[in-house]
Amino acid sequence: MTATAATRPAACRGLWEEFGPRLELAVQAAAGPLAAIEPGRLASLSIVLPGMSAAARASVGGDSCWLAPHQEFSLYGSGTALRFDDDVIDGFQAACARWCALDAHGIPPVAWFSMAAATAAPRLSLRVPRLLLRLAADGATLTLSTRREAAVPPSEVARQWLAELRQFLAPAAEAQRADNAILALQPTPNAETWCSRVRTATSAIAAGQFAKVVLARRLAIRLAAPVVPGELAARLARIHPECYALSFPHGRGWVVAASPELLAAKRGRRLVSHALAGTARRHAQPDEDAQAAAALLASPKERHEHGIVVDAIAARMVAICDGVDHPATPAIMPLRFLQHLCTPVSGCLRPGAGLLDAVCRLHPTPAVLGHPVEAARAWLARAEESRDGLYSGVAGWIDAAGDGDGVVVLRSAYLEDRSAILWAGAGIVAQSDAAAELAETELKLAAMLEVLRTS
């Protein structure tokens, strides 16, 4: 599977056909300013694309995407201009401080970032894509980025950008839609082992080892045909418009997710994190659905589990924010199949603290690991639970001005050729019932299975 095929939906007309001449002129004109930039610096060219057609918007390629329908905001990226795997925060801030705009718009470039699963040692990585298309309610902008290399003439950079743009913006062939057969399913652990593990966890909680731990189930799937990650992300965005849908390369494959859980969003100095814990099933009948929501709000067990997450997020934000605040009572976040208790926690970042600092401080929350964190992580290690495919990790975007969003990777699939790995978890507290927690994981897995079958 090529990088372009990884994220491009089918469309009848491409952006290159619509905007090619404009892009060629802008890229060729940027060669002069690029020649004057000191080697080693990050440089970018931003081009406004006015009046983009709906068909052209559907034809974007690349290797990564971020889709937030509820914000009327999408990002599509391709390639890597800069990458940071060590000293990420300092390295990215230094690169941004020396960033040079090759145009009058001065739109800062964007970087993708991710952190490993909650059970793993925290590790942040970041990459600035070579090409990035922003689609928002107020218009579209294409940003091309590069690290200035003395050995590469600006004319060669322009030639490479144009070649990459033609592939990134060309329309894909119309896909033949058909249900994708699931040939094999392998859950780990099975139902019996899971229920035993839940009972062991509640005993450990009763013994005072920790207050909460999150257990997860892994479902390995063999499919009749490969799934195109970008098409799956686009479908998830349509089905779950209130979530953040994404498709990122990871290992030898792609992580695709539709996450409802906003770990951190920064705009200016304002930081917001959504505490999400406590779950109930949705119902087709409005009366039944309202009753389920009321029962969720009234449940001592669910409110206790939710309160642990709210308190932990607020306590961590106090270290980097002033004016940390949150509502006293959670709200209901209704999704397609589930509804959750949700409490937004907000504050004003102090000087010197940024989005990546907040992500590193907040991850992992008790919603995906447990509380206290280190006690829960140690217990999970002894229980031999490890997670892969970024499940319960973090993925997001940040621009050179420091604004961006990061979400917890939930409702996710790791795709590699004809295989998919799904994960679903449940928060275990003292009052947890093993059968009820099993049913919660089954419901979460079923939601992603439905989408896989029709992708």
Cite the active site residues: 212, 261
User: Alpha helix locations (H) across 7-70?
Assistant: 15-35, 54-57
Q: What is the DSSP letter of 71?
A: G
- Note whether 257 and 413 are within 8 A (CB): yes
The residue among 202, 209, 216 whose CA lies nearest residue 367 is 216
3-state secondary structure 82-126: EEECCCHHHHHHHHHHCCEECCCCCCCCEEEEEECCCCCCCCEEE
Whole-number Å distance between alpha carbons of 438 and 450: 18
Say if strands 338-349 and 331-334 run parallel, antiparallel, or are unpaired.
antiparallel
> How far lies 39's CA from each of 35, 108, 153, 405, in Å?
9, 19, 11, 30
- Round to whole Å and give the CA distance between 252 and 372: 33
CA 365: distance to chain centroid?
15
- Within 10 Å of residue 73's Cβ, how many Cβ atoms? 16
